[in-house]
C-alpha cells in the first residue's frame, strides 16, 4: 500500500490569466469542485491518505480549502446549504494534508524533489491536478497505476496516445510492450519536436515513483526550457533499473488549457446534471 500522494502545485497557470493572478490554477472549479479536489479524490480512491502539496507564493487558498472555515460553517449550520460542504468535510476527515513550498520555479522535477521532506523514504503517487482524469466504468487512473506497482515495484508513468503534431507538448516515451497496456521504458524525452521521436505515447500527470527517484533528481541538470525535468530523471532510472509506462483506461482532460477545461466542464455537467 502506498500512503502518500504528492501534488506539485507551484505553477503560475498563466494560460488562465487574469483569473490566476490571485487564484491558484488548481482552485479553478469544474462545476462546484476545484481541480485539486478531483485529484485528492483520485488519490484517496487508490488508498493514499497522506496528501502532500508542493506549493508556492500566492497559493494559500489551497491550504485554506483543506481546512475548516469556522465562520462559514457557523453561518450555514442548520440551513439547507450545510450539505454543500459535506463532501469536502468527509474528505478532510479521511486524509492528512501537508505543505511545502518551491521557492523558485525550476521545473516539475525540482518541485517533486522539494516534496521529498513530505514523502520520506517510500514509494509515492504524483498527481498533476490540471490533468483531470476520470474512468466512469471502473477504477481511477491512480488505482490502475497502483495495481501495476504492486506487481512490478518500480516507477510507473501513465501514458496515452496523442496526435503526432502534439508530441511537443508532452514527455514522450518509447519502450517494449510486455502486456497489452504496459511497456518497459527504454527512452523518454521531454517535449520533443515531432522529428525527434517515433513514438506518440505521451506522459500524462500521473506517476508512481520509487524513492530512488530523488537520487536521480539530485543528479539531473536543467533540461528542456532550462528546467529540471522529471522525465530526464526517470530516464536515468529507466537506464539504471526499470521504469514502466502504462496506457491507462479512462479519459483525461487537459484543464491547463482553456479548451480542455471547457470540455471537462461540459463532460462533468452531462455526467452530473444530464438527466435534469
Ligand atoms: C508535465 C511533464 C510532461 C507531461 C505533462 C503532462 O509538463 O513535464 O512530461 O507530459 O506534464 O501534463 P507540463 O504540462 O507541466 O509542461
- Cα distance between residue 270 and residue 276, in whole Å: 9
Each domain of the chain, given as residue ranges in start order, spans: 4-273
Q: Is 207 in the pocket of ligand 1 (CB under 6 A)?
A: no
- Which stretches of the chain score pLDDT less than 70? none
Cis peptide before 5 (omega within 30 of 0): no
Lookup: cell for 87: 463532501
Alpha carbon of 205 to ligand 1 centroid (Å): 6
Alpha carbon of 171 to ligand 1 centroid (Å): 6
Cα 116 to the chain's mean position, in Å? 16
Q: Whose CA is nearest to atom 6 of ligand 1?
A: 204
Does domain 4-273 fall under CATH 3.40.50.720? My reply is no
Give, for ligand 1, the residue of 12, 105, 205, 232 to mutate: max count of ligand atoms closer than 8 Å to Cβ.
205
pLDDT of residue 69: 87
Q: What is the value of pTM for the model shown?
A: 0.96
Q: Is 148 in the pocket of ligand 1 (CB under 6 A)?
A: no
Of 46, 6, 7, 30, give the one whose Cα is nearest residue 248: 46
Q: Is 26 in the pocket of ligand 1 (CB under 6 A)?
A: no
Alpha carbon of 54 to ligand 1 centroid (Å): 16
In ligand 1, the atom with minimum distance to the C-alpha of 231 is 9
pLDDT of residue 48: 98
CB-based burial label for 118 (10 Å; 0-12, 13-18, 19+): middle
pLDDT of residue 167: 96
Question: Phi then psi for 120, rounded to 5 degrees?
Answer: 75, -155
Alpha carbon of 130 to ligand 1 centroid (Å): 10
pLDDT of residue 122: 96
- Cα distance between residue 126 and residue 43, in whole Å: 9
Look-up of cell digits 519502450? 175
Q: Is 202 in the pocket of ligand 1 (CB under 6 A)?
A: yes
pLDDT of residue 50: 98
Q: Is 245 in the pocket of ligand 1 (CB under 6 A)?
A: no
224: left (phi over 0), alpha (psi -120 to 50) or beta: beta
Give every CB contact of residue 131 below 8 A, 6+ residues apart in sequence: 204, 205, 206, 252, 253, 254, 255, 256
pLDDT of residue 72: 87
In ligand 1, the atom with minimum distance to the C-alpha of 130 is 12
pLDDT of residue 86: 84
Q: What is the 3-state secondary structure (H, E, C) of 223-243?
A: CHHHCCCHHHHHHHHHHHCCE
Amino acid at each position: 500500500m502506498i500512503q502518500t500522494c504528492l501534488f506539485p502545485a507551484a505553477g503560475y497557470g498563466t494560460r488562465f490569466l487574469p483569473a490566476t493572478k490571485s487564484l491558484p490554477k488548481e482552485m479553478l472549479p469544474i462545476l462546484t469542485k476545484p481541480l485539486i479536489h478531483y485529484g485528492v479524490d483520485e488519490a484517496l480512491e487508490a488508498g493514499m491518505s497522506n496528501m502532500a502539496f508542493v506549493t508556492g507564493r500566492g497559493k494559500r487558498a489551497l491550504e485554506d480549502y483543506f481546512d475548516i472555515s469556522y465562520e462559514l460553517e457557523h453561518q450555514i449550520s442548520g440551513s439547507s446549504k450545510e450539505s454543500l460542504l459535506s463532501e469536502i468535510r468527509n474528505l478532510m476527515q479521511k486524509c492528512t494534508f501537508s505543505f511545502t513550498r518551491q521557492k523558485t520555479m525550476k521545473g516539475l522535477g525540482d518541485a517533486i524533489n522539494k516534496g521529498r521532506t513530505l514523502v520520506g523514504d517510500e514509494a509515492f503517487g504524483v498527481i498533476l491536478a490540471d490533468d483531470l482524469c476520470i474512468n466512469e466504468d471502473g477504477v481511477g487512473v491512480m488505482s490502475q497505476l497502483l495495481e501495476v506497482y504492486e506487481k512490478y515495484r518500480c516507477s510507473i508513468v501513465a501514458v496515452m496516445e496523442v496526435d503526432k503534431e502534439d508530441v511537443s507538448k508532452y514527455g514522450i516515451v518509447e519502450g517494449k510492450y510486455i502486456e497489452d497496456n504496459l511497456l518497459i521504458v527504454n527512452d523518454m524525452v521531454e517535449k520533443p519536436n515531432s522529428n525527434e521521436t517515433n513514438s506518440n505515447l505521451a506522459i500524462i500527470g500521473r506517476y508512481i515513483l520509487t524513492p530512488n527517484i530523488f537520487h536521480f533528481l539530485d543528479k539531473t541538470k536543467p533540461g528542456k526550457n532550462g528546467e529540471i525535468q522529471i522525465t530526464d530523471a526517470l530516464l536515468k532510472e529507466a537506464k539504471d533499473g526499470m521504469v514502466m509506462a502504462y496506457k491507462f483506461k479512462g479519459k483525461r482532460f487537459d484543464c491547463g488549457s482553456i479548451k480542455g477545461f471547457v470540455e471537462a466542464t461540459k463532460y462533468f455537467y452531462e455526467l452530473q446534471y444530464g438527466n435534469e
